[in-house]
Amino acid sequence: MVPPGEVARRTIRRTDWVPCKAAFIDCRTPGSDRKDNYSFIGPGVSQSADQYVNLREPHGFQLGAAGMPHGTTNSLHLHFTAEVFVNFDGDYQLRWGADGTQGEYRSVDGDVVSVPTWIFRGFTNVGDDEGVLLTVLGGDDTGGIIWGPSVLREAAGHGLHLTADNRLVDTVRGERVPDGVALVTPMPQDEIDRLDRLDADAFRARVTHAGDRVWVAAPFLCSGLPGGGAELSLVIGYGMSEDRRATPRLHDPHGFDLAWLRARVGEGVLTHRHPGTQVLTAKAGRWAVRLNTGADEQVVELGPLDTLSVPAGAWRSFTLLDAAPGRAADPGLGELLVVNEGDGRTRLEWAPEVVAAARAAGHVLDANGYVAPAEVLVTATDDD
């Protein structure tokens, strides 16, 4: 059971976002100096001791966002663990390669972009307004980042240096490099030359545009039951799907699975639980997430850009209350971003009443956790 205080601690409203304007070494570089960094779950790769983190509890992955007014650039850098961008209504020019010239991609609302590790990447807001670019990072320890050589050189000209233990030193403010601590220097050119090269087609294959989504009409045991009519689109990993034919767009390990879930008003996912951490962020519509069962039930309403961290093992259900707020790919539907820890399938346990109702409707789960016709499974025999 999740007590009320814990539910409140795990609920991150859009109004709870706290920006850090000096999270990275490029915070004085013209074009990057208006950037805001948000860390919702885990510190991410922020290099500032002033970075506010809404929820520090390890999840196996981390969630944050970039706040960037029109024309602002996030400088070229590379990651050691997965970095996935989720475009929540913005227009961004993404570029990659050590000098940013290997290729470019224009990201729009609804995109999910998984950038390979050990590839320099950067992006600029080319839209008319700030937009929102969520970031999901793999692992509780990302190992930090490596900046492009030109980024470090330009930052040094503005009095900013980075120590080998990932601390930002601001000599303009009178800070000094700690004794015995080395400064980060640009990555050697011969090592840069050994990095993988990525052409435009290979990059595009790692983007899931709204039009690329493949929706599973009956992804769960509760599908077809009253209130259980959500659809699921797998983006990264097999996730929670109980349809044996469903396949994700990306299969490679990220440390988490990620999917879109959509429903019409009154529909969603009935009561279930699983043993891993889960994070829900509303993209469109107003959702009710019910935690616990019976007299201990706690209800959290999520509107666009509200996030809830559901603890491992907690009973939960999702219902769309109103489809109007936010921007969905299909009007009349609400959309929910669902992220679960781990690279394997997320195996669900359903509440007994859901199992009974599904069986009465002719559906059960087979031994591999996929939906199957009950009349077929009664003919199966165990081979001892």
Each residue of 97-119: pLDDT tens digit?
999 999 999 999 999 999 999 99
- Average pLDDT (332-340) is 97
Rounded to whole angstroms, the Cα distance separating 319 from 301 reads 10
The rounded distance, in Å, linking the Cα atoms of 70 and 131 is 9
Q: At residue 381, does pLDDT exceed 80?
A: no
Tell me the pLDDT band of 60, cut-offs 50, 70 and 90. Answer: very high
Task: Please state, in angstroms and rounded to a whole number, the distance separating the CA atoms of residues 62 and 316.
Answer: 21
User: How many distinct helices (H) and strands (E) make up the chain?
Assistant: 6, 26
- Residue pair 310/244 in contact (Cβ under 8 Å)? The answer is no
Q: Residue 359 is which amino acid?
A: R
> Residue 10 and residue 13: Cα distance in Å, rounded?
10
pLDDT of 380 > 60? The answer is yes
pLDDT band at 382 (very low <50, low <70, confident <90, very high): low
The pLDDT value recorded for residue 170 is 83
DSSP 100: S
Stronger pLDDT, 382 or 342, i.e. the higher one = 342
CB-CB contact of 91 with 108 (8 Å): yes
Q: What is the pLDDT of residue 314?
A: 98
- pLDDT at position 55, please? 97
Say if residue 40's pLDDT is above 90.
yes
- For 207, phi and psi rounded to 5 degrees? -105, 135
List strand residue ranges (DSSP E) for 3-138, in order: 11-12, 36-41, 53-55, 61-67, 73-79, 83-87, 92-96, 103-107, 112-115, 121-125, 133-138
Over range 311-332, report the average pLDDT. Answer: 92
Q: Are 159 and 170 in contact (CB under 8 A)?
A: yes
Quickly state the pLDDT bin for 361 (edges 50, 70, 90).
very high
pLDDT confidence tier of residue 39, bands split at 50, 70 and 90:
very high
The predicted pLDDT at position 168 comes to 81
What is the model's pLDDT at position 132?
87
pLDDT for 383 equals: 54
Higher pLDDT, 329 or 246: 246
pLDDT bucket at 138, cuts 50 / 70 / 90:
very high
Give the per-residue pLDDT at 242. Answer: 98
Evaluate if residue 316 carries a pLDDT over 60.
Answer: yes
Percent of the chain residues topping a pLDDT of 70:
99
* Mean residue pLDDT across the chain: 93
Given a cut of 70, whether residue 208 has pLDDT beyond it is yes
Domains and CATH numbers, the chain: 4-208 (2.60.120.10), 213-377 (2.60.120.10)
- Look at residue 350 and tell me whether its pLDDT is greater than 70: yes
Q: Give residue-wise pLDDT tens across range 262-274.
A: 999 999 999 999 9
DSSP type of residue 268:
E
The residue with greater pLDDT, 207 or 377, is 207
Instruction: Please compute the mean of the pLDDT values over residues 170-197 and round it to a whole number.
Output: 88
Residue closest to 339 by CA, chosen among 365, 304, 298, 309: 309
Report the pLDDT value the prediction gives residue 223, as an integer from 0 to 100.
Answer: 98
Q: Rounded to an integer, what distance in angstroms lies between the CA atom of residue 51 and that of residue 39?
A: 7
Q: How far apart are CA 268 and CA 223, in angstroms?
A: 9
Whether pLDDT at 384 is above 70:
no
Least confident of 140-149, 198-207, 282-291: 140-149
Q: Is the pTM of this model over 0.75?
A: yes
Question: What does the block give as tokens for 282?
Answer: 């509303």
Picking from 127-141, 274-288, 296-310, which range would have the lowest pLDDT averaged per residue?
127-141
Q: What is the pLDDT of residue 5?
A: 96
65: pLDDT strictly greater than 60? yes
Residue 176 sits at the vertex; the CA angle it makes with 174 and 179, to the nearest 5 degrees, is 160
Least Cα distance to 255 among 111, 139, 356, 374 occurs for 139
